[in-house]
C-alpha cells in the first residue's frame, strides 16, 4: 500500500480542449477565452487551450489560431497546445502563444489509425519529432500515451507496450510523460501498477495522469495515480469531455470534484473551489445543460452555521 501523499499536486485544466472538443454545438471563441480566463482566476496555471488538428476531423478546434491570439498575457500561466504531427507543431509554434507542445501517441495500432492515421510505432516517432521541434524553437514539450489502459478497438493493452513507449519517449527528454485513460476504462489497481512500471522505466521524468469518468472510476484512479507517484493530474471544469474517436467516451474527471477530494485530504492544488463551482454554473448555462461534476451540485464541505441561520 502506497503511503498517503500529502504534497502538492498540479492540475492541468483541459476543459478548453478535451472538455469541448466532442461538443456538437460550436462554442464561440470569445466564450472559450472566457472559460480560460475563469480557470486562471480560479488558480489554474497550466491549461490545455486547444489542439492543432484537421478542422474537418475536429470542427470544435477549428479556431485554434484565434484562441491563441486572444489568450490572456500571463507569464505565470503555461499554455499547452495539443499536436499530432509536424504540421500541427508548426501551426502551434507559429501562433507565438503556445508555451508547451503536447504530443500524443497511441498505445494500439487500430486506435492510432483511427485517431491520427498512423501505427502506434509511427505515433511514437511523430511524438519524438514534435519534442525535437519544440526544443529547436526553445519551447518545452510533453508526450501523452493515449489508450494506456484500454482500447476501444483492441480491448486490453499490455503494460509492457506502454512501458516500452514511455521508455522510447523518455530518450527525447520530454517535460513529462502522461498516461491517458482516453476511453474511461481504467481501475485503481491497474493505474497503480502501470504508473509504478512507467516510473521505473523513465527515471526522473514526471508522470501526469489523464482520466475519464466514463465508468465511474475516475476519482479512484486519480487517488491511485497520486499514490503511485503521478505529480500532475488532468481535469476539466464541469466534468465535460470526450473523444470524437472513442465511442462512448465521456467526461474528464471534473476539476471541482478532484480539487474537493484532494484539498479535503490535505493535498494542495492551488485552485479555489468556490470559483470553480461558479464557473461550472456559468458553463452549464452557456451550454444549456447540467454538467456531470458532483461537487458543483452539492457544494463544498459544510461551513458551520450560526443558530439563527440554522433555524431560519
Residues forming the site for Zn ion (CB under 5 A): 18
**For residue 36, how far is the Cα from the chain centroid?**
14
Report d(CA 113, CA 69) in Å as an integer. 31
Report d(CA 234, CA 75) in Å as an integer. 21
Give the residue with the Cβ less far from Zn ion, 181 or 263: 181
Give the residue with the Cβ less far from Zn ion, 14 or 175: 14
Q: Catalytic residue at 105?
A: no
* Least distance from Zn ion to the Cβ atom of residue 69, Å: 25
Burial class (CB in 10 A: 0-12, 13-18, 19+), 225: buried
* Least distance from Zn ion to the Cβ atom of residue 144, Å: 9
Give the residue with the Cβ less far from Zn ion, 93 or 103: 103
- On whether the CB atoms of residues 147 and 123 are closer than 8 A, the answer is no
Return the number of other C-beta atoms located less than 10 Å from residue 248's C-beta.
13
* Least distance from Zn ion to the Cβ atom of residue 99, Å: 20
- On whether the CB atoms of residues 33 and 63 are closer than 8 A, the answer is no
- On whether the CB atoms of residues 194 and 229 are closer than 8 A, the answer is no
* Least distance from Zn ion to the Cβ atom of residue 244, Å: 11
Catalytic residue (one of 68, 105, 151, 243):
243
Q: Show the cell assigned to 84.
A: 499530432
Report d(CA 233, CA 230) in Å as an integer. 7
- The residue whose Cβ lies closest to Zn ion is 18
Report d(CA 226, CA 220) in Å as an integer. 10
DSSP 268-307: --S--HHHHHHHHHHHHHHHTS--S-SHHHH-SSPPPPPH
* Least distance from Zn ion to the Cβ atom of residue 181, Å: 8
Q: Active-site residue numbers?
A: 243
Amino acid at each position: 500500500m502506497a503511503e498517503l501523499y500529502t504534497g502538492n499536486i498540479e492540475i492541468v485544466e483541459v476543459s478548453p480542449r478535451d472538455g469541448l472538443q466532442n461538443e456538437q454545438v460550436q462554442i464561440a471563441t470569445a466564450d472559450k477565452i472566457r472559460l480560460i480566463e475563469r480557470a486562471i482566476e480560479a488558480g489554474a496555471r497550466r491549461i490545455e487551450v486547444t489542439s492543432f488538428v484537421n478542422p474537418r476531423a475536429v470542427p470544435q478546434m477549428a479556431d485554434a489560431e484565434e484562441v491563441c491570439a486572444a489568450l490572456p498575457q500571463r507569464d505565470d500561466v503555461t499554455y499547452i497546445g495539443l499536436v499530432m504531427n509536424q504540421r500541427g507543431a508548426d501551426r502551434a509554434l507559429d501562433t507565438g502563444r503556445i508555451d508547451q507542445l503536447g504530443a500524443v501517441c497511441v498505445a494500439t495500432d487500430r486506435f492510432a489509425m483511427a485517431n491520427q492515421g498512423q501505427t502506434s510505432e509511427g505515433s511514437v516517432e511523430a511524438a519524438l519529432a514534435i519534442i525535437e521541434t519544440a526544443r529547436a524553437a526553445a519551447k518545452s514539450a510533453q508526450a501523452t500515451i493515449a489508450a494506456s489502459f484500454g482500447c476501444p478497438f483492441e480491448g486490453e493493452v499490455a503494460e509492457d507496450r506502454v512501458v516500452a513507449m514511455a521508455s522510447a519517449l523518455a530518450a527525447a527528454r520530454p517535460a513529462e510523460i502522461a498516461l491517458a485513460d482516453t476511453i474511461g476504462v481504467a481501475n485503481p489497481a491497474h493505474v497503480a501498477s502501470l504508473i509504478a512500471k512507467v516510473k521505473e522505466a523513465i527515471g526522473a521524468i514526471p508522470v501526469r495522469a489523464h482520466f475519464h469518468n466514463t465508468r465511474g472510476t475516475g476519482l479512484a484512479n486519480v487517488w491511485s495515480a497520486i499514490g503511485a507517484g503521478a505529480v500532475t493530474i488532468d481535469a476539466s471544469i464541469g466534468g465535460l469531455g470526450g473523444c470524437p474517436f472513442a465511442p462512448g467516451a465521456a467526461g474528464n474527471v471534473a476539476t471541482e470534484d478532484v480539487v474537493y477530494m484532494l484539498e479535503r485530504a490535505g493535498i494542495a492544488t492551488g485552485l479555489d473551489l468556490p470559483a470553480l463551482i461558479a464557473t461550472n454554473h456559468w458553463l452549464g448555462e452557456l451550454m444549456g445543460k447540467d454538467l456531470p461534476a458532483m461537487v458543483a451540485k452539492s457544494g463544498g464541505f459544510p461551513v458551520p452555521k450560526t443558530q439563527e441561520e440554522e433555524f431560519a
